[in-house]
Amino acid sequence: MRPTPELAALLRRTADRLQAQHWGFWDREYCWRDSTRCNCGLLVREALSWDQQQLSLHIHRGTWRSIAQTAYRTAAYVAREPSHCEATGLRLGYVFEKMADLGFDQPEDFAALEELSDPVILARLAEKGVEPLRRDYAPHVALYMRELADWIEEQLQAQAQLSPLTQPLPKAKATEVAVRQPLRLR
């Protein structure tokens, strides 16, 4: 996962909508067993502003880990010879390209969110007295997403603080610095 402010905001928006159970007329209920209404399905739908039907046209059934592994494994092939969905005309890897742009760029990112299993996030929640989490319980998913967003924002802050320290020093002009040659004794 590549921490980005957009990903942190997306996780918060998804958690808010999940907590409110407000996804649309036909799918008000969170359903972990449906790849369009589960943890990753809802995150992707929020990212792309799609409904359940639109997402179901772009992904194959299965776990998000297996879907993502297939998508990323074939990304090089698709880049060489792009194939498109017959129904929508979009590239087949479109969903994962968009998620990678946001920072969700590894199959493990999807697996950890789907299973609520990232050890760093689980440890942070345990420190706050929250354990164990159920991967298929909407309030736990929303809590996990918010904690992940907090972690991402902390990573971004740490990167911003380190950034000035890792910048190369400005080059001195030749006239400003006189370099002395060592004296040679004979």
For residue 120, what are its two tokens?
């760093």
Q: Which long-range contacts (CB under 8 A, 24 or more apart) does 37-45 make?
A: 38/64, 38/114, 39/64, 39/113, 39/114, 39/116, 39/135, 39/141, 39/145, 40/64, 40/110, 40/113, 40/114, 42/14, 42/17, 42/18, 43/10, 43/11, 43/14, 43/104, 43/113, 43/145, 44/95, 44/99
The domain segmentation of the chain, as residue ranges, is 5-166
* Amino acid sitting at position 54: Q
pTM of the shown model: 0.76
Q: What is the pLDDT, as a whole number, of residue 26?
A: 43
Q: What is the pLDDT, as a whole number, of residue 164?
A: 66
Cβ–Cβ < 8 Å for 114, 38: yes
Q: What is the pLDDT, as a whole number, of residue 77?
A: 46
75-124 pLDDT per residue, tens: 544 455 555 555 556 665 778 888 889 999 888 898 899 999 999 999 99
State the Cα angle at 103 between 100 and 108, rounded to 5°: 80
Rounded CA separation 100/150 (Å): 19
Q: How many CB atoms lie within 10 A of CB 167?
A: 8
Q: What is the pLDDT, as a whole number, of residue 172?
A: 58
Cβ–Cβ < 8 Å for 141, 116: yes
Residue spans of the chain under pLDDT 50: 25-26, 76-78
Where do we find the tokens 């080059």?
171
Report the b/e string of 86-121 with b at 16+ CB within 10 A.
eeeeebbbbbbbebbebbbbebebbbbbbebebeeb
| 3-state SS class at 111 | helix
Cβ–Cβ < 8 Å for 35, 65: no
